[in-house]
Structure formats: structure tokens, C-alpha cells
């Protein structure tokens, strides 16, 4: 009986998740996405604040070569953003001294690279794959989508706890814990995998348009997989797509983007950033 009541409570939470009001927009790949929990201006302010805080806490490289190299790639990629996205931000690139092979882009026009990324991105095309992927997250408004998704998840769990308290058949704290697990495993993480796959699509398109070889995205992720070794969570708890599936999709997409890449090169977009 208690299990039946618990299922009803969690079902109510799921219904609340589905009807929570957020604006619906269309991503660059045509995917419907919920946004609107925070404004773009707020997102930009938060991105700038987070970037400035990281600069205050973490040392940046003193290498002018690394700074110029990364900035050259960021500028080449962002020039290929469509419409007002190409001029919305005056992108700032920061290179932080950290052995992690990591990078990120934030609303507000902030691109961050950890020095460890140069270990796995071994030429300008591979680093362009990293940069374009991360900028793809910003262009596709994934940060806004994450805020909306988190808001819906919170609302659903809160509703379940209220129902549990009213019925008295299930401890609200237990529902909160279980509801959090359901939201995280069945709602939040799968969306993150969707975003990662979408950023792959957008990133390869951007790098090809900028004159970087889209085939090098495959090399980059092969290097990243080798870097990670076996330290990978189960697929159903991962925020990234399955590695082999990702490589197959990147390789297939690269073949289709070669005309775009060739056209960019013929148009004079031939980046010479380094390293």
C-alpha cells in the first residue's frame, strides 16, 4: 500500500514537471526547448560574474603565445555565429593554469580554457573543435534551458513533498530524496546528454564555416577518451553521449561538412592561429 501511494505521489510530481510554465523556443538544430526561467540579460550578468570570480581565484597563463593562439581561434569561430549572435558579445578569452583538460563558454561572451586542454588538443583544428563545441552551448541557449529544467525539477519535487505531507502515508523527506534522484537521473541528466550532442552538431558546423577541418573533431574526442581512460560513469548516469557513438556521429557529420569547409577555404577563411 505504501508503495502504491508513493507511486501516486511521484506521478503527481512528474505531472507537475510537465506542466510547469516556461517559454518554449527552437534551438539552432530545430529542437524544441524550454527557457524563460531567467532573462538573457540575467544570464549574461551571471556569466560575467562567474568568469570574473574565476579570474580572481585562479592564476592565468603568462604565456603570450597561448593567449594569442586561443584568442585567434575564439575570434575565428565567433565570427561565424549567425545574425545578432555574431555581434552580441565582445568575447573575452581566459586561459587558466590547471592541468585538467577542460574548457567552457559562458553567456556574456566569456571563453575559458584550462592549460591542460593543450595536452589533448594538439593543433589548431582540434582546439577549434573544443572552442566551437563550448560556444555552441551558449549559442543554443543551453544555460537558459538548464535553469528552466532545474526550476521544473524543483517544482515537481516540492509538489510531491506537499502531497506526501497531506496524505501522511509517506515521509516527505523520503519523497524529497527519491524525487531528487528521479529528477536527476530521469530528467536532468538525459537533457544534458541532449545538449552535449547538440553542441557537437553546432560546433562542427561552426568550425567548418570558420575554415577549421571538421574531421579533427574526431581526433580531439579520441584524445579526450584516451585521456579519461576507464574513469567514466555508467552511460545512464553520464552527462555526455556514449564515446563510440559520439565518434561515429562526429565522423559521419564531418564527411557531410567537407563542402562547407572547402567553401570557407576558397573564400579566404584560412585560420593561421598556431600553436
The confidence band for 171, taking pLDDT boundaries of 50, 70 and 90, is low
pLDDT of residue 2: 39
Burial of 265 (0-12, 13-18, 19+ CB in 10 A): middle
Q: Rounded to 5 degrees, what are φ and ψ at 153?
A: -65, -45
* Angle (nearest 5°) at CA 102 between 122 and 46: 135
d(CA 179, CA 187): 11
The confidence band for 76, taking pLDDT boundaries of 50, 70 and 90, is very high
**Helix 142-167 × helix 124-139 angle, to 10°:** 50
Percent of residues, the chain, with pLDDT higher than 70: 71
* 129 within 8 A of 203, measured Cβ to Cβ: yes
Cα-based distances in Å from 250 to 92, 115, 160, 203, 257: 28, 25, 41, 10, 10
The confidence band for 5, taking pLDDT boundaries of 50, 70 and 90, is very low
Closest CA to 39 of 51, 23, 50: 23
**Does the pLDDT at position 6 exceed 80?**
no
pLDDT of residue 159: 45
Length of the chain: 275
pLDDT of residue 166: 44
* 68 within 8 A of 274, measured Cβ to Cβ: yes
pLDDT of residue 137: 93
| This model's pTM is above 0.95 | no
Which of 66, 126, 134, 196 is labelled catalytic? 134
d(CA 38, CA 105): 18
The confidence band for 239, taking pLDDT boundaries of 50, 70 and 90, is low
The confidence band for 208, taking pLDDT boundaries of 50, 70 and 90, is very high
pLDDT of residue 203: 97
Residues 18-29: what's their mean pLDDT?
65
Which cell goes with 82?
A: 549567425
The confidence band for 119, taking pLDDT boundaries of 50, 70 and 90, is very high
Closest CA to 113 of 153, 156, 152, 77: 77
Taking CB atoms within 8 Å and a gap of at least 24, the contacts of 221-228 are: 221/129, 221/246, 221/247, 221/250, 222/247, 223/120, 223/121, 223/122, 223/126, 224/101, 224/120, 227/101, 227/119, 227/120
Catalytic (active site) residue 198: no
* 240 within 8 A of 196, measured Cβ to Cβ: yes
pLDDT of residue 268: 97
d(CA 215, CA 135): 18
**Does the pLDDT at position 199 exceed 60?**
yes
d(CA 250, CA 14): 34
Taking all residues of the chain, what is their mean pLDDT, rounded to a whole number?
80
d(CA 115, CA 111): 13
Amino acid at each position: 500500500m505504501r508503495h502504491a501511494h508513493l507511486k501516486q505521489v511521484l506521478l503527481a510530481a512528474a505531472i507537475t514537471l510537465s506542466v510547469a510554465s516556461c517559454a518554449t523556443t527552437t534551438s539552432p538544430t530545430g529542437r524544441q526547448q524550454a527557457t524563460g526561467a531567467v532573462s538573457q540579460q540575467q544570464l549574461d550578468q551571471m556569466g560575467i560574474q562567474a568568469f570574473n570570480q574565476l579570474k580572481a581565484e585562479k592564476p592565468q597563463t603568462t604565456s603570450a603565445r597561448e593567449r594569442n593562439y586561443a584568442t585567434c581561434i575564439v575570434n575565428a569561430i565567433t565570427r561565424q555565429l549567425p545574425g545578432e549572435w555574431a555581434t552580441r558579445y565582445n568575447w573575452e578569452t581566459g586561459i587558466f593554469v590547471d592541468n585538467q583538460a577542460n574548457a567552457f563558454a559562458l553567456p556574456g561572451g566569456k571563453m575559458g580554457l584550462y592549460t591542460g586542454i593543450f595536452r589533448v588538443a594538439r593543433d589548431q583544428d582540434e582546439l577549434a573543435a573544443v572552442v566551437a563545441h563550448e560556444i555552441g552551448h551558449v549559442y543554443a541557449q543551453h544555460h537558459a534551458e538548464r535553469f528552466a529544467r532545474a526550476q521544473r525539477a524543483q517544482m515537481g519535487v516540492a509538489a510531491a513533498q506537499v502531497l506526501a505531507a497531506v496524505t501522511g502515508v509517506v515521509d516527505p523527506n523520503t519523497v524529497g530524496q527519491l524525487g531528487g534522484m528521479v529528477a536527476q537521473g530521469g530528467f536532468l541528466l538525459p537533457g544534458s546528454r541532449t545538449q552535449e550532442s547538440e553542441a557537437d552538431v553546432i560546433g562542427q558546423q561552426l568550425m567548418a564555416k570558420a575554415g577549421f577541418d571538421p574531421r579533427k573533431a574526431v581526433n580531439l574526442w579520441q584524445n579526450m577518451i584516451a585521456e579519461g581512460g576507464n574513469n567514466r560513469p555508467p552511460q545512464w548516469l553520464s552527462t555526455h553521449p556514449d564515446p563510440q557513438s559520439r565518434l561515429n556521429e562526429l565522423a559521419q557529420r564531418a564527411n557531410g561538412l567537407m563542402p562547407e569547409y572547402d567553401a570557407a577555404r576558397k573564400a579566404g577563411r584560412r585560420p593561421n592561429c598556431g600553436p
